[in-house]
Amino acid sequence: MQETYERACYIERLGLFGCIQCGKCTAGCPLNYLTPFNIRKMVYEVLNSSGEEIASEKHEIWQCTTCSTCSSRCPKQIEPRDVIINLRSILVEDGNIPPQIRDVLKSISINYNPWRLGKEQRGEWSKGLALKDASEAELLYYVGCTPAFDPRLQKVAQAMVKAFNKAQIEFGTLGIEEVCCGSEIRRLGDIWSFDALREANTEIFNGYDNIKQIVTTSPHCYNTFKNEYPGLKPSVMHYTQFFSSLIDTGKLVLAKDFRKKITYHDPCFLGKQNKIYEEPRNILAHVPGSTFVEFDRNREASLCCEGGGGRMWIEIEDVKERLANIRVRAAAEMGVDIIAVACPFCLLTLEDAVKSNDLEGKIQVMDIMEIVAKTLT
Amino acid sequence: MPAKKIGVYICHCGVNIAATVAIDELKRFAEGLPHVKSAQNYMYVCSEPGQELIRKDIREKGLNRIVVAACSPRMHEPTFRAVLKSADINPYCLEIANIREQCSWVHHDKQTATDKAKGLLAAAVAKAALLEPLEEREVGVTPTALVIGGGIAGIQAALDIADNGFKVYLVEKDASIGGHMMQLDKTFPTLDCSACILTPKMADVKNHPNIELLAYSEVVDVKGFVGNFKVTVKKKPRYVLESICNACGQCAQYCPIVIDDAFNERLAKTRALHIPFPQAIPAKYVIDPEACRYLRDKSCRQCEQVCKELQAINLDQKEELVELDIGTIVVATGFDVFDARQKPELGYGKYENVITGLEFERLVSASGPNQGEIKIHGKKPRDVVFVQCVGSRDKTVGNEYCSRVCCMYTAKHAHLVREKIPDATITVFYIDVRAFGKGFEQFYDRVKGERVYYRRGNVSEIYRRGERLVVRAEDTLEGRAMEVEADLVVLAVGMVPNKGAKELAKLLKLSNSPDNFFLEAHPKLRPVDTGSEGVFLAGCCQGPKDIPDTVAQASASAAKAVIPLSQGKVKTETMVSVVQAEACRGCGFCVEACPYAAISLEEKKVRGKKKLVATVNEVLCKSCGACAAACLSGAIQQKSFTDEQILSVIAAIGKDY
């Protein structure tokens, strides 16, 4: 299925004529807290002139994190986020993109990951763990580029393996054969590379008759497999859904005390976009000795960490504040020890913010899986 | 049998048909069809001269069957039947070929459309040749109406029907009539006190000799048909004897159970034994069966002890079922407010100082929890923000429609805040302001002039900052997002159909429009009729509307409901099913198929032998044809839809044209 981009009629395809310019999108946009980025205005301008003009003039289209707050709240069910993706694809097609993005896209085509690291290094995180191959189990653990390559996130993947083993779950991995899911690539506007990645991945996953289920580390991979891979045969789950049900059925017991005050930051791609709010909380509720407090802005109101939509590779200049800073300061006010996350990007951006707010030693950012690993005997 | 003489009338319908179907070609084709004595074409056959043309031809050419090729029979079947009747031929010797909705309006190619029109016309002529005259019959009407719902719509309808001289049963599921209008403080645009204008009407209902009020009751079954309904009403037990209780209120002071006060939208408390509100009609107390200690575990009889003199409390009271004979029914079940918890970004249910418009009405009412003082946590708010379009104009919650009253009630609320808290800052976030009615725009102007800031932008989120709330929306006229701090936020929630409406719809066979409110027979021309004959709609159950429109519609509904009552008779269906007893095998499939319980197996003597034979009750039969289709033996034929007639239509359509 080729996603062809037709410049003239994407306005109708996205239903832009139905926009009543109510502004709910702009007012909910996390970027709008920081910059003059105005998605409502952009939708109106795209309707009235050509995408090319808008795309080349508005450098701020690279600021969008594709959190989808706009699309989820639009009362006319238009998708303003898709307008951004379409505008970006105009620029990608013309090669008119910031150098960081160019590097990312090049890395994808050479190494099948956005981190500019050789694909043969993709198995480093699991050295010494004796993992099964993908052909050997019904469950495939899809690690993802960031947990595979980033040293901080590798700890999360290792914790995941510990938990799988403790619950005696048989699972396989693709090892160095694993290829980027394409989520952020599509959101950066390179819909052509995304098509290629999707085709490759679908072929790989469907090619294994034994694979019935895929569990991902990242909500980004989960979201794209679940909602943007129509030909995929195995079912897809995010690890929070999988482990929540393991805990409920008693297959995984969190035994050791972990006496900390924990709060949970809902990731946009898990929460807002897929309405998965309770499973992560269920896991944390079973952490012995811990106390849990909610952010005021929880669930669908969670404040985007600014990690999605390619923002892991793009900096915004002249910005007075970062949303991640607001988030960790709110956590500090609540007196929490741990901010629990369920997404690699949230982990990296929030940890960064802890450091830049001098809260190191006072607040820790941990993936839910790392917390779980601490409670296993 | 007289020779069949068919007259064919082809309508141009202006250009609706003529632009796509070649009328002349169709007319020549018609002339060649069997039994066709004459074929005419005319610009608008439904017009007076068009009708006269048919009449004239019948008289002069001795026509005895008429085929009209025009628009859908839903438009003009009654019109043309009346024409036949006025020309002294049986009105059921009419067949209509729909060459508009089924042909010219759905095709572009002229040749294909014309060929299809020929097929449709040939089929109509073939059937017309086989049509038989049918008898029109009448049945009597019970001179009694039922109004379901005791809000302002039901009250008005009941009063109008009763003033016409007919008996009315008014059934209301709550313990008192009055509905939502009773909960309102002042009404727009006149700022009339709602309770003050409603209570006289409620008193009229109580005192009217023709109205029997069944409060705290629900309709549980409806059988029969127009003029002859049998309605079963369940009278729920109050545990307080209505005929004895004098509403002195002594008992309630001793009731130990405290519950949320539903009338005050749970902003206040009341007792399990309570009167819904001071001006309730019937003015009787009632016990909440889920809260009462005695009813749950038999562990308290305080109230009985207190009411020693009158002994009005009966904790063993049971529900009662009554059967009513009813002629016509008016449905006035009203609305519920949208549940704002479905919009979590607005913080309703999370923050105490985010309330709905209806909760605000109770706050600001003199009979409300604070005697009309607007207070949150005991303090007067200084910054009040109103949020429009909550749960309306919103596809994400499945309510695409506009709820019509919210722009005006919010303007009214803003005015009331200004009146009670002179130095408050008041902001209204809106998308459009709809001030369409009489006096509405002027009221809106006045309210803005009272220093109310109207900002154009749909509120996207409300979050907490310390003790205060922050309301975030884009001011789209300025092109930038803005945040307003508030200590009270009022959500202008829209209307959704009353939750009891679904069950009632099944009983009365009512359909819903796409917005889930009840479907009227025709949105423009028959706004109070329904698809079920004898059942009418009044008020918000048909769609969101304000009090003036509700009262107008209620009176319209009453006028329609009275027609069968005052005529004393209604026509029954003519195209009923007929059973050929000899062919009937008594299997009963037809009985299962019939949705109206109009066919049953009876023992009859057929050719000397006793056997079970399907028998049609022609008064109950609605001519749907389900029995005829279900019959395995082919023993049932529906008049004007016999097998022979249908097969002739199929044969004609199957040809190449």
The DSSP code sequence of B101-115 is IIIITT---HHHHHH
Which residues in A lie closer than 8 A to residue B460 (C-beta atoms)?
Answer: 23-28, 69, 73
User: Is pLDDT above 90 for A7?
Assistant: no
Of A27, A72, A297, Cβ closest to residue B457? A27
Domain ranges of chain A: 2-94, 99-245, 253-375
Q: Which residues of B touch A22 (CB under 8 A)?
A: 389, 431, 457-458, 476
What is residue B117's predicted lDDT score, i.e. its pLDDT? Answer: 97
CA dist A188 and A108 (Å) reads: 12
Mean pLDDT of A248-269: 96
Facing residue for A27 by CB, picked from B394, B460, B464? B460
Give the best residue of A19, A20, A21, A22 to mutate against chain B (max B CB count within 10 A).
A22
Partner residue opposite B460 with nearest CB, options A28, A38, A296 = A28
Select from A40, A69, A74 the Cβ nearest to the Cβ of B474: A40
Quick one: closest CA in A to B466, which residue? A296
Query: Residues of B numbered 374-413 whose beta carbons fall under 8 angstroms of chain A's beta carbons: which are they?
Result: 389, 393-396
pLDDT surpasses 50 at A16? yes
At CB < 8 A and 24+ separation, what contacts does B192-199 make? B195/B279, B195/B367, B198/B152, B198/B155, B199/B279
Say which CATH topology domain A253-375 has: Rossmann fold (3.40.50)
pLDDT of residue A9: 56
Q: What residues of chain B lie within 8 A of the CB of A74, using their CB?
A: 396
What six digits make up the tokens of B641?
């839809």
- Residues on chain A touching B457 (C-beta within 8 angstroms): 22-24, 27
Give B463's contacts in chain A (Cβ within 8 Å). Answer: 296-297, 301
Mean pLDDT to the nearest integer, A151-168 = 96
The angle, 0 to 180 degrees and rounded to 10, between the axes of the packed helices A151-166 and A344-356 is 130
Q: How far is A276 from chain B, CA to nearest CA, in Å? A: 15
- As a whole number, mean pLDDT of residues B563-582 equals 95
Amino acid at A144: G
Spacing of C-alpha B611 from chain mean position = 44
Tokens for B479? 């092109």
pLDDT in tens, B18-42: 999 999 999 999 999 999 999 999 9
Class of domain A2-94 (CATH, top level): mainly alpha
> What is the pLDDT of chain A when averaged over all its residues?
93
Taking each helix axis from N to C terminus, what angle separates B73-86 and B48-61, rounded to the nearest 10 degrees?
50
Enumerate the residues of chain A whose CB falls inside 8 A of the CB of residue B473. 23-24, 27
Q: Tell if the CB–CB gap between A75 and B463 is shorter than 8 Å.
A: no
The rounded distance, in Å, linking the Cα atoms of B656 and B556 is 50
Which residues of chain B neighbour A42 with C-beta distances below 8 Å?
none
Model confidence at A46, pLDDT cuts 50, 70, 90, reads confident
pLDDT above 50 (res B589): yes
For chain A, percent of residues with pLDDT exceeding 90? 86
Q: What is the mean pLDDT of residues B574-591?
A: 95
Q: Which residue from B534, B526, B538 is spatially nearest to B565, judged by alpha carbons?
A: B534
Is the Cβ–Cβ distance between B354 and B491 less than 8 Å? yes
Q: Do A24 and B460 lie within an 8 Å CB cutoff?
A: yes
Contacts of A323 in chain B (CB under 8 A): none
> At B460, is the secondary structure helix, strand, or coil?
coil
Does the pLDDT at position A1 exceed 50?
A: no
Of B345, B475, B479, the CB nearest to A28: B345
Are A171 and A100 spatial neighbours (Cβ–Cβ below 8 Å)? no
Mean pLDDT of chain B: 95
- Report how many Cβ contacts below 8 Å link chain A to chain B: 77
* Three-state DSSP state, A25: helix
Q: Does A2 have pLDDT greater than 50?
A: no
Q: Which residues of A touch B393 (CB under 8 A)?
A: 20, 75
What is the model's pLDDT at position A15? 83
Q: Do B431 and A296 touch (CB under 8 A)?
A: no
**CB contact at 8 A, A255 and A376:** yes
pLDDT for B377:
84
Per-residue pLDDT, A4 = 42
CA distances from B316 to A107, A357, B71, B257, B298 (A): 80, 69, 62, 19, 11
Residue A294: list chain B partners with CB under 8 A.
Answer: none
Which residue out of A20, A24, A70 would a mutagenesis test of the B interface target, given it has the greatest number of B Cβ atoms within 10 Å? A24
pLDDT at residue B620 in the model: 82
Query: What would the mean pLDDT of B582-606 be, rounded to a whole number?
Result: 92
A84 Rama class: left (phi>0) / alpha (psi -120 to 50) / beta: alpha
- How far is it, in rounded angstroms, from Cα A353 to Cα A339? 12
pLDDT higher at B537 or A95: B537
Residue B519 and residue B530 in contact, taking contact as beta carbons nearer than 8 Å: yes
Tell me whether 0.85 is exceeded by the ipTM: yes
A32 vs B contacts (CB less than 8 Å): 474, 481
Looking at beta carbons, which residues of chain A come within 8 Å of B401?
A: none
Task: Compare all CA atoms of chain B with the CA of A36 and give the residue at the minimum distance.
Answer: B480
Picking from B393, B395, B474, the nearest residue to A27 by CB comes out as B474
- A350 neighbors A342 (Cβ within 8 angstroms): no
pLDDT of A186 reads 96
pLDDT of A263 reads 98
DSSP string of B484-528, one letter each residue: EEESEEEEEE-EEE-TTHHHHHHHHT--B-TTSSBPPSBTTTBSS
Give the lowest-confidence range in A54-63, A334-343, A348-357, B162-171.
Answer: A54-63
Q: Where are the beta strands (DSSP E) in B285-366?
A: 286-287, 320-326, 328-331, 335-337, 354-356
Rounded Cα distance, B346 and B460, in Å: 7
Window B:37-76, CB contacts with A under 8 Å: none
Q: Is B476's CB within 8 Å of A23's CB?
A: yes
Q: Taking CB atoms and an 8 Å limit, are A36 and B474 in contact across chains?
A: no
B466 touching A (Cβ < 8 Å): no
Instruction: Check B393 against A75: CB less than 8 A apart.
Output: yes
B431 touching chain A per CB within 8 A = yes
Report the gap between the CA of A293 and the closest CA in chain B (Å).
Answer: 15
Q: Which residue of A has its CA nearest to B483?
A: A27
Q: Taking CB atoms and an 8 Å limit, are B461 and A28 in contact across chains?
A: yes
- Nearest CA of chain B to the CA of A300: how many Å? 7
The residue with tokens 């008779």 is B569
Q: Which residue numbers of A have CB closer than 8 Å to B's CBs?
A: 20-29, 32-33, 36, 38, 40-41, 69, 72-77, 296-297, 299-301
- The yes-or-no answer to whether A2-94 and A253-375 have a common fold is no
Question: Could you report the per-residue pLDDT of B395-431, keeping only the tens digit for each?
Answer: 999 999 999 999 999 999 999 999 999 999 999 999 9
The residues facing A214 across adjacent strands are A140, A236
Q: Quick check: B463 and A296 CB within 8 A?
A: yes
CB contact under 8 A, A38 and B461: no
A103's tokens = 């590097």
Choose the closest CB to A301 out of B345, B458, B476.
Answer: B345
Partners of residue B395 in chain A, C-beta under 8 Å: 75-77
Q: Provide the shortest C-alpha distance from residue B392 to chain A (in Å).
A: 9
